[in-house]
Amino acid sequence: MQVSDSSSRILAGLLEARTGQQLTMNRRWRIETAVAGLLRERGIATLDELITILVMGREPALANHVVEALLNNETYFFRDRQPFDLLAAQALPALAIARADKKRLRIWSAGCSTGQEVYSLSMLFAENPMQWAGWTIDILGTDVSSAVVDRARSGTYTQFEVQRGLGITQMIRWFEECDAGWRAVEPLRKPVRFQVHNLLEPPPHPGQFDIVLCRNVLLYLSAEKRTLAFERLASALAPDGALMLGAGETVIGQTKKLAADRDCRGLYRLTEDPNADRREPRVA
């Protein structure tokens, strides 16, 4: 299947309009693989035929499916490992002290894909039941794709997915065999919830998150939209909350609302009193 410049421009435009994500020239090779399954499923012979259907507006729902197919949903449990070690060793113990009076923690995984990051976070708490006894832990996973949010909510993973990133003892402790593969056990599912959400929109309820993870998502946004996303993320944080980005991602030159935590490398904190100006940023 040949992907012409005009076809790839149309699909890239559709993706950006719906999600804010860019399909830059160096990522357009993905188009062919990404939509192949959808074309087979719908009996559409060529990419040109797909473009024609989209442009003519004959099947409005098809555009959603194309966007879902174009999104990069790569994820696995404890991805990159080090951020989770940082949370377990430093950020969560600090919050256990700072929130000892209310015993409530709110964590947001923004761009959670099929939920492995969210369940990895849930494991950090489940593996320390004594420390978190009596606490209300709320771990919210959001993604712009409704298909991956549905999958995340099910907590069910294929054999291939469930072993990516998990040690075997961890896997058999926190997942049970089911008809569809392996399902997260109830104690892991209990503190988590999922919803469809676009990072460029105001943050999800209830806000005031103690930790926000937004890893390997912002790199797909244009500079302008990335700045807006940082504004949104900053407005979602509790005054002493922390943002965690993906490896190689930074706030430098992209927002003045957040800065690296000098005492805890890998975390970003609000730079100003967030109560001084909590107005919603304007949409670009």
Partner 1 sequence: MKTCLIVDDSKVIRKVARHILETLEFQVDEAGDGREALTRCEASMPDVVLLDWNMPVMSGMEFLKLLRQRGHADQPKVVFCTTENDMAHIRAALEAGADEYVMKPFDRETLHIKLQLVGVA
Does position 222 interact with partner 1 (CB under 8 A)? The reply is no
d(CA 276, CA 93): 28
For residue 190, the minimal CB distance to partner 1 (Å) is 22
Does position 83 interact with partner 1 (CB under 8 A)? The reply is no
d(CA 171, CA 101): 33
String of b and e for 99-126 (b: at least 16 CB within 10 Å)? beeeeebbbbbbbbbbbbbbbbbbbbbb
* CB-nearer residue toward partner 1: 163 or 195: 163
Three-class SS of residue 281?
coil
Does position 167 interact with partner 1 (CB under 8 A)? The reply is yes
Count of residues of this chain found to bind partner 1 when the rule CB under 8 A is applied: 12
Does position 73 interact with partner 1 (CB under 8 A)? The reply is no
Does position 179 interact with partner 1 (CB under 8 A)? The reply is no
**Which residue in 179, 180, 181 sits closest to 171, CA to CA?**
181
Q: Which amino acid belongs to residue 253?
A: G
Candidates 6-14, 29-37, 164-172, 266-274 — which segment interacts with partner 1 by CB under 8 A? 164-172
Three-class SS of residue 214?
strand
Candidates 8-16, 146-154, 161-169, 194-202 — which segment interacts with partner 1 by CB under 8 A? 161-169
For residue 118, the minimal CB distance to partner 1 (Å) is 19
What residue ranges bind partner 1 (CB under 8 A)? 76, 81, 159-160, 163-165, 167-169, 172, 177
